[in-house]
Structure 1
Amino acid sequence: MDSLLLEVAVHAAHDVAGAIEGGADRLTLESPADGADLSPDLAAAGATLRESDVPVRIMLRLNDSFTTTGGEFNRLVGLGEEYLALGAEGLVLGFLDADLEVDTETCRALTAALPGVPWTFHGAFDSALDTRRAWRDVVGLPGLTAVRTGGSSRGLAHGYDELLARCQESPEVAALAMPSAGLVAEQVPWFARAGVTQFHLGPQARPGGSAKAWVDASYVRSWRSLLDDL
């Protein structure tokens, strides 16, 4: 089996050392705010990128909903360009429409404005009304390399069986799926056998799962060892 990618969410430059020392292959930078992960300011982005010698993707999201407006869209493009100029390897974004379907039009427009940039569809994906249709909608989106998912809006504690089944039946889904919300160690071998090659750590990388705790190298290392043993 090829090496499995381990991605770790960081909130600031102080999280970088623990993530990299623990064996993270890629980082995502996001700023927690009132229960939503939003875009960090440019100073935080620059400081984090200077600390990291592994690829960093940065959250491109300005409000706590999964939609955007025309005016905000222009701000997202500009912010994305600034993150990339600072050295970001890619971006994290995603939109749903009023019917809770993947807003492919907005996703395509934004990625067309930032051509050639690899990106991850964030957890908005799990709030789509019809997940089977949502997977059909995202497969083939330009630049998309990962979908951060728990298989359900309530995370893998509820969505594990469904997500595993989709990965087993569809190589295209397995290639994009990046299990995240509520991921536990026991689930990893089953996902790997189904063809999943990337995994995301959020609270799992922090003592007590607290956003106030810094990313801990020993926590990350335990996951790195698990993936390497496979």
Structure 2
Amino acid sequence: MSKRAALEVIALGPEDAVAAQAGGADRLELVTDMAADGLTPSVETFAGIRAAVDISLRVMLRRADGFAAGDVDALVRLAGELRTAGADEFVLGFLDEHGGPDLPAVERIVAELDGCRWTFHRAIDRAADRDALRKQLADLPGLDAYLTAGAASGVDEGLPTLVAEAARRGEPGYEPRIMVGGGLRLDHVPRLRAAGVDAFHIGGAARPGGWSAPVDVAAVARWRRALDEPA
């Protein structure tokens, strides 16, 4: 029997979190301000969600729209405050002006995480060289996933890249799990599963009513059923 595919759902607050868990989510990505494509939520929001559900939570570390790190001291402080509040999984990813990984920023933040597991998010889809980025990040402690659509525009364009990268799983730089998200639809799932992709991330797809509406249990459950079909 193939391993159950992981389903991660974006949660903005406790109501979202409860609905996502009820629908079958394995993990939540905690953010605020989706108009800026997801920023770090408050410690209070994290604590409220942590009290509401018992599944894994990955907290976004990002202070402004775009892929520049900005004030790294502030990000390190935020990470420390969240760690103190009990957060133990994170999401981050920053590029420099040349489209490579901003290693000084990422390394400082990862040092503050002190071994916590983390996802490098869709900044990889804006990188000048995806393969080079993976190899530059390969030795960082805790990195266990890339959230990627395969292309900046989304999964429709990125599908061939995702399939090719899935085939390289286990090579240097390709050990972290591929978690597909960004314009992901249910009709993409069979090809991705056949390629060996076993982790999926949804945001808007869990909210038929749009970002102003909460996560819908039935929408998450539809994804759970689709991912539980034999690959």
Q: Quote how far apart the aligned CAs of 1:197 are.
A: 2.0
* Contact kept? 1:49, 1:86, Cα under 8 Å: no
- Other-structure match for 1:225: 225
* Contact kept? 2:144, 2:175, Cα under 8 Å: no
Answering whether residue 52 of structure 2 is matched by residue 51 of structure 1, we say: yes
* Contact kept? 1:29, 1:58, Cα under 8 Å: yes
Q: Give deviations 1:123-172, integer Å, cap 9, x for gaps.
A: 22211122232233333432111111111110112111122122124445
- Other-structure match for 2:204: 203
Structure-1 separation of matches of 2:164 and 2:44: 42
Aligned residues: 227
Secondary structure in structure 1 of the residue aligned to 2:59: strand
- Other-structure match for 2:20: 19
**TM-score of the superposed pair, with normalisation by structure 2:** 0.91
- Structure 1's unaligned 5+ residue stretches are none
Q: Quote how far apart the aligned CAs of 1:179 are.
A: 0.4
Secondary structure in structure 1 of the residue aligned to 2:193: helix
- Other-structure match for 2:178: 177
Structure-2 separation of matches of 1:185 and 1:33: 22
Structure-1 separation of matches of 2:5 and 2:37: 27
- Other-structure match for 2:102: 103
Structure-1 separation of matches of 2:116 and 2:176: 18
Q: Which amino acid aligns with 1:97?
A: D
* Contact kept? 1:167, 1:174, Cα under 8 Å: no
Q: Which amino acid aligns with 1:19?
A: A
Q: Quote how far apart the aligned CAs of 1:33 are.
A: 4.8
- Other-structure match for 2:6: 5
Structure-2 separation of matches of 1:59 and 1:14: 18
Structure-1 separation of matches of 2:161 and 2:31: 27
Structure-2 separation of matches of 1:37 and 1:10: 10
Q: Quote how far apart the aligned CAs of 1:200 are.
A: 0.6
Secondary structure in structure 2 of the residue aligned to 1:213: coil
- Structure 2's unaligned 5+ residue stretches are none
Backbone CA RMSD of aligned residues:
1.7
* Contact kept? 1:175, 1:197, Cα under 8 Å: no
- Other-structure match for 2:127: 128
> Residues 6-85 of structure 1 correspond to what in structure 2 (within 5 A)?
6-69=7-70, 72-85=71-84
Structure-2 change in CA distance of 1:204 and 1:94 (3 Å): same
Q: Give deviations 1:1-30, integer Å, cap 9, x for gaps.
A: 112111111111110111000001111110
Structure-2 change in CA distance of 1:174 and 1:181 (3 Å): farther
Q: Quote how far apart the aligned CAs of 1:103 are.
A: 1.8
Give % identity.
Answer: 35
